[in-house]
Structure 1
Amino acid sequence: MPCKMMAPIYQALADKITDESLVMAELNVDEHPVIATKLGVRSIPTVVVFKNGKEVNRSAGMLPLPELEAIICGNE
């Protein structure tokens, strides 16, 4: 349920970002538990930010749009 509650916030950020090099994706941890384990996801929702293939930021739990934007776009 928390991930579904975050969906409109993710969409609002995706609509706001103009950087076409940024890719936002989601992973269903129930369908892909091995990947979730490799990423160290222990709670949902979890946002993991990668740059050049390396993790640069992470946050777990519900986030308002400004905080999500800071986590994702603060690493450009």
Structure 2
Amino acid sequence: MKAIVTVMLKDGVLDPQGKAIGHALHTLGFPQVGDVRAGKIIELELDETDRAKAKAAAEEMAKKLLANTVIESFRVELTG
């Protein structure tokens, strides 16, 4: 089973990468772009058939390593 963990900076946390992307898009002729936030996606292949256990394991991994929960939030989606 695959778990997809999406990690984003929490609202209110300065996102210099997002600001740079937004500026570059405006420079490239995309003035309709508003606020941009950048994050990361981590795909995990889990050797688990129970969806609840797989989601709990991925959430625990995110809390312990994949996300800095002080400044980042995360969500876990399962596929397969």
TM-score interval (norm. to shorter): under 0.3
If the length of structure 2 is used for normalisation, what is the TM-score? 0.25
TM-score, reference length from structure 1:
0.26
Greater relative contact order, per chain length (Cα 8 Å cut-off, separation 6+): 2
Task: State the structure with more CA Rg.
Answer: 2
